[in-house]
Structure formats: structure tokens, C-alpha cells
Amino acid sequence: LDLGWMIYLHHFFQDFTPLVGLPGIPGMMRLDAVAASYEKLSAHQPRDLEFYALYAALRHGIVMARIGRRGAHFGESVLPPDPDDMIPHRAAIEAMMEGSYWATRR
């Protein structure tokens, strides 16, 4: 069970819901709540969830970059001048690395 992936992917979609005029489910998959639930059910305390969520975001960024390159290869899109612009959650990754992303998502 990859808690980091589950937590990150929920927040990835949650970050995009306002852009399409939807509220999302902002109280779901909070770091501390997920850790507490997991510990209660498994008797194991998950650690370093911020790291594992960042790792998941980076893996997802690689997938998104590959999708962007594939689209350009087949003429469906144009590569941006900055390859990092192919990663729609680039700002989230940067905030995770700075340590500010999880301040309101615990």
C-alpha cells in the first residue's frame, strides 16, 4: 500500500478542482489523518509521508513529461521552451521541496 501515492494523487486532483469550478473534497487524505488511520488499522506508524508524497509527485511528473514528449513526437502538441512546463503540478513539487506545500494539508 503506497500511502504517499494515494495522498499525493488526491491532492493533485484537489489542486485542479477550483480551475473547473468544483469544490473537490478538501478534507480528504490529510497527511496526519491518513497516518493515524493507518496506524490504528495496522499497528504500524507510517513515517516520512511528506517525503513519500514528494517521491510520488516526482514519479507523476516523469509520467506527465513523457506524455508531453509523446504528444510532441506524434504532432499532437509542441514542446514548450522550458521542459518543466510539461509538468502541470510543477509548482506543487517546488512547494513540497521548499517545505510549504503541506502547511495547510496536514
User: Could you tell me the pLDDT band of residue 41, with boundaries at 50, 70 and 90?
Assistant: very high
Q: Do 9 and 58 touch, CB atoms closer than 8 A?
A: no
CATH (domain of 26): 3.90.1200.10
The boundaries of the domain holding residue 81 are 3-104
Give how many domains the chain has, as a whole number. Answer: 1
Residue 1 has pLDDT above 90, yes or no: no
Please name the residue ranges forming H helices in the chain: 3-16, 31-42, 49-73, 90-98
pTM here is 0.89
Question: What pLDDT is attached to residue 23?
Answer: 92
How many degrees, rounded to 5, is the angle at CA 95 between CA 90 and CA 100?
A: 165
pLDDT in tens, 46-68: 999 999 999 999 999 999 999 99
